[in-house]
Amino acid sequence: MNERIASILLETKAVQFSKNGYFTFASGIQSPIYCDNRILLAHPGEREYVVSCFVESIQDSLFDVIAGTATAGIPWASFVADKKRLPMCYVRSAPKSHGKGKQVEGCDVDGKHVALIEDLISTGGSVATASRALVESGAKSVAVFSIFSYGLSVTISVLRGIEHHSLCDLPILLQQARSLDILSEEEIHTVERWQSNPTLFS
C-alpha cells in the first residue's frame, strides 16, 4: 500500500521537488519538496485507490463519524464516509464569526468516536486544532488519518497524545523516487537533510 501511494504521488506530480530555490509552507518553513494532494482529485483511478486505502486503514476500528479538515480533507472525508455509510462532518480552522459560530459543521459528534481525515500533515498544527475542536464539541475519541506526512520532528511534539496514521511518509516516498530514478542521490540527501532539520533551509 505505502509504496503504491508513493508511486501515485510521484507519477501524478502531486509531489514536486524544487531544482532552484524552495517552497514555502503555510507555517513559514522552506522546503525542497512540496506535496499537493488536491492534484489527486483530478485522477479518478488513483483517487479511488487512495479512498480504498483509507477505508482499509480504518476498517478494523470502530468509528461513528468521518470528519474532514477544511478544506483539503473534506472531499476525502466525503468519499470515505460514503463508502463506510457513516455520518460526516467537517472542521473549520476557526469558529465562524457569524451565524451559530460553529467550528464543527455537519453531524453531531457528541459522545462519538471520530476518524478525522486530512490530506497532508506537515507540522501537524491544522489537525491538532481540528482534533481539539472535535473534542471540545464532545467527541469521545479522535484518530487522524492522512495521505502523506513529511515526518518532521516538530510533528511528533505537536501531535503528542493524538493517534495519527499516514498512508505514506517521506522515507517511503524517497525510496520510490530512487527506484523510479526521479531523484539523484544528491537530491535525496538534500531532502533527508531538510527532514532532519528544516530550519537549516530557512
CA distance 65 to 121: 21
Neighbours of 45 (CB within 10 A): 8
Percent of the chain with pLDDT over 90: 86
The SS3 of residue 27 is coil
Q: What is the mean pLDDT of residues 67-72?
A: 96
Q: Answer yes or no: are the C-beta atoms of 10 and 176 closer than 8 Å.
A: yes
- Whether the Cβ atoms of residue 78 and residue 89 lie closer than 8 Å to each other: no
**Amino acid 35: pLDDT:** 97
Task: Say whether pLDDT at 98 is over 90.
Answer: no
**Beta pairing class for 33-35 and 65-69:** unpaired
- DSSP code of residue 181: T
Residue 60 pLDDT > 80, yes or no?
A: no
Pairing of strands 104-106, 33-35: unpaired
pLDDT digits (tens, 9 = 90+) for 2-17: 999 999 999 999 999 9
Least confident of 70-74, 96-100, 113-117, 179-183: 96-100
Tell me: pLDDT of 171 over 80. yes
Would you list the DSSP string of 64-118? SEEEEETTTTHHHHHHHHHHHT--EEEE-SS--SSTT--SEEES--TT-EEEEEE
Q: 198, 170 in Cβ contact below 8 A?
A: no
DSSP letters, 128-179, are HHHHHHHHHTT-SEEEEEEEEE---HHHHHHTTTSEEEEEEEHHHHHHHHHH
Residue 71 binned pLDDT confidence (cut-offs 50, 70, 90)? very high
Whose cell is 466525503? That residue is 78
Alpha carbons 62 and 162: distance in angstroms, whole number: 17
Give the number of other Cβ atoms within 10 Å of residue 184's Cβ: 11
Q: What share of residues in the chain are helix, strand, coil (percent, to 5)?
A: 45, 25, 35
Q: What is the pLDDT of residue 128?
A: 96
CA neighbor of 142 nearest in space, from 58, 72, 86:
58
CATH of 2-201, one of 3.40.50.2020, 2.60.40.730, 3.40.50.280, 3.40.50.720: 3.40.50.2020
Query: What is residue 202's predicted lDDT score, i.e. its pLDDT?
Result: 64
Task: Quickly state the pLDDT bin for 96 (edges 50, 70, 90).
Answer: confident
- pTM equals 0.94
Domain spans of the chain, in order of start: 2-201
